[in-house]
Amino acid sequence: MKTLTALFATAALTLTAGLAQADVRPDLIAGLIKDGSVMDLQKLNQAALAQHPGATAANITDTELEQKGSAYVYQVEIRDAKGLKWDVDLDAKTGQVLSNKQDT
């Protein structure tokens, strides 16, 4: 019985964690921009690129908008001028850089 309870508890925690952080469906993004929940994605890309002088839009390898709780985080993967890969997370509403880490 303890094993069964542990399995249910693990499953519940896993499902809850998935709800707390989820990718935003592409068809919802235009509405989020329109209502001011997130900035224009081009502006967010520029904010991420500004962290790596010399990088251009061609250096962006991937982008993703995630909802974390009630906030939205825009994630940008960039290859800098030296070819190093970086993960830049931005507050999607304000454009503030939340993290700027070299991807290993």
Domain residue extents for the chain: 23-102
Note the pLDDT of residue 99.
97
Q: With contact defined as beta carbons under 8 Å apart, do 54 and 80 qualify?
A: yes
Mention the CATH class of domain 23-102: alpha beta
Q: Shortest CA distance to 79 belongs to which of 96, 62, 99? A: 62
Q: What is the pTM for the complete model shown?
A: 0.78
Note the pLDDT of residue 22.
81
User: Could you give the CA distance from residue 73 to residue 38 in angstroms, rounded to a whole number?
Assistant: 9
Predicted confidence (pLDDT) per residue in 62-102, tens digit: 999 999 999 999 999 999 989 999 999 999 999 999 999 99
Query: Which DSSP symbol is given to 52?
Result: S
Predicted confidence (pLDDT) per residue in 17-73, tens digit: 333 458 999 999 999 999 999 999 999 999 999 999 999 999 999 999 999 999 999
User: Which residue's entry shows tokens 């839009």?
Assistant: 57
